[in-house]
């Protein structure tokens, strides 16, 4: 056997089992790291969204303490809230609620939109333009706050009872409605932006983890294993964005 033949055969030698095992371990570590990173990002978004929801509560309560009324509902806000014109300056009717019960927020000519604008103008919140003109169609950063996960958040009032899209009746109070339905009245199944796992984790962090009860009520269908939830239990193995949320922040 010549030297050149030996060199050729050595160059054609395949990977050993040890080398293949090392490669597989490295690939496994890379995949595990990617999956863990995705999990950490998902957890961070959930925590950030919970903080967003709590900021609504803090902002509204702070505003009430300072101005003796709900944002959007107070009279003559242009004379009381700094730099408050256009949507921000719309006078509320002082009836102790932000907007009409269960109303769809389709533009900026309402107490719901004025509420966010007044909170921002008072440095108690962020996420919308407080000086946007009245009558402008609903949009992100206009009268809707962009969620850290998906969709939008805005303030609504419910006098209690059944609400379009909600899986159970709401208790009376002020809610953050988290979905994405802009510029038109909603129908059941509109604007769903969260998957059941995300919704369940937020519900557990803020309430009782039941889609049908407490201060967090799911939006979406609530009957089958492929729906947002089924008889109060979120279908967390479903990856489809088929949920929204009503989150009560103040009475």
Torsion of CA 83, 85, 87, 89, to 10 degrees: 90
User: How far apart are the C-alpha atoms of 184 and 142, rounded to whole Å?
Assistant: 15
Whether residue 9 is predicted with pLDDT greater than 60 in this model: the reply is: no
Of 204, 189, 201, 177, residue with least CA distance to 243? 189
pLDDT band at 25 (very low <50, low <70, confident <90, very high): confident
Mean pLDDT computed over 227-237: 96
Instruction: Between 190 and 142, name the one with better pLDDT.
Output: 142
Whether residue 4 is predicted with pLDDT greater than 70 in this model: the reply is: no
pLDDT band at 87 (very low <50, low <70, confident <90, very high): very high
Whether residue 35 is predicted with pLDDT greater than 60 in this model: the reply is: yes
Most confidently modeled range among 23-37, 59-73, 98-112, 129-143:
59-73
Per-residue CA distances from 113 to 48, 81, 117, 151, 221 (Å) = 23, 15, 6, 17, 28
- The percentage of residues in the chain with a pLDDT greater than 90, rounded to a whole number, is 72
pLDDT tens digits along 103-131: 889 899 999 999 999 999 999 999 999 99
Least confident of 1-5, 40-44, 182-186, 204-208: 1-5
Per-residue CA distances from 98 to 115, 176, 195 (Å) = 7, 11, 29
Least confident of 37-41, 87-91, 196-200: 37-41
Which structure tokens are listed for 104? 């769809």
Whether residue 211 is predicted with pLDDT greater than 90 in this model: the reply is: yes
Output the pTM of the full model: 0.84
pLDDT at site 183: 60
pLDDT tens digits along 38-59: 666 677 889 999 999 999 999 9
Measured on CA atoms in the order 105, 148, 71, 69, is the torsion positive or negative?
positive
pLDDT at site 251: 87
Whether residue 12 is predicted with pLDDT greater than 70 in this model: the reply is: no
Strand partners, 173: 158
Which structure tokens are listed for 141? 């950063």
User: How far apart are the C-alpha atoms of 98 and 190, rounded to whole Å?
Assistant: 23
Q: Which residues of 6-37 are buried (b: 16+ CB within 10 A; e: fewer)?
A: eeeeeeeeeeeeeeeeeeeeeeeeeeeeeeee
Which structure tokens are listed for 72? 């959007």
Which structure tokens are listed for 36? 């863990």
For 152, the 3-state DSSP assignment is: strand
249 and 56 in contact (C-beta within 8 Å)? yes
Delimit the domains of the chain by residue range. 17-250
Of 146, 82, 70, 158, residue with least CA distance to 115? 70
Per-residue CA distances from 163 to 10, 19, 31, 101 (Å) = 75, 62, 44, 10
Task: Please name the residues in contact with 85: beta carbons below 8 A apart, sequence gap of 6 or more.
Answer: 78, 131
pLDDT at site 186: 65
Least confident of 76-80, 113-117, 163-167: 163-167
Whether residue 162 is predicted with pLDDT greater than 60 in this model: the reply is: yes
């Amino acid at each position: 056997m010549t030297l050149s033949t030996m060199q050729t055969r050595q160059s054609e030698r395949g990977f050993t089992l040890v080398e293949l095992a090392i490669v597989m371990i490295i690939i496994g570590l890379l995949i595990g790291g990617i999956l863990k990173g995705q999990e950490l990002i998902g957890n961070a978004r959930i925590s950030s969204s919970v903080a967003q929801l709590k900021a609504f509560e803090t902002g509204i309560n702070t505003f009430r303490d300072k101005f003796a009324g709900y944002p959007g509902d107070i009279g003559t806000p242009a004379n009381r809230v700094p730099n408050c014109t256009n949507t921000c300056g719309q006078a509320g009717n002082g009836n102790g609620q932000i907007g009409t019960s269960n109303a769809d927020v389709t533009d900026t000519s309402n107490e719901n939109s004025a509420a966010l604008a007044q909170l921002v103008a008072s440095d108690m919140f962020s996420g919308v333009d407080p000086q946007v003109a009245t009558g402008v169609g609903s949009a992100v950063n206009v009268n809707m706050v962009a969620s850290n996960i998906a969709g939008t958040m805005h303030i609504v009032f419910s006098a209690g009872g059944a609400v379009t899209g909600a899986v159970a009746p709401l208790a009376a109070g002020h809610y953050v409605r988290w979905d994405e339905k802009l510029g038109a009245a909603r129908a059941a199944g509109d604007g769903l932006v969260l998957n059941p796992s995300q919704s369940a984790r937020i519900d557990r962090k803020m309430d009782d983890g039941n889609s049908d009860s407490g201060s967090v009520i799911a939006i979406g269908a609530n009957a089958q294993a492929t729906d947002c939830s089924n008889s109060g239990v979120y279908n967390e193995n479903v990856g489809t964005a088929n949920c929204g949320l009503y989150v009560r922040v103040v009475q």
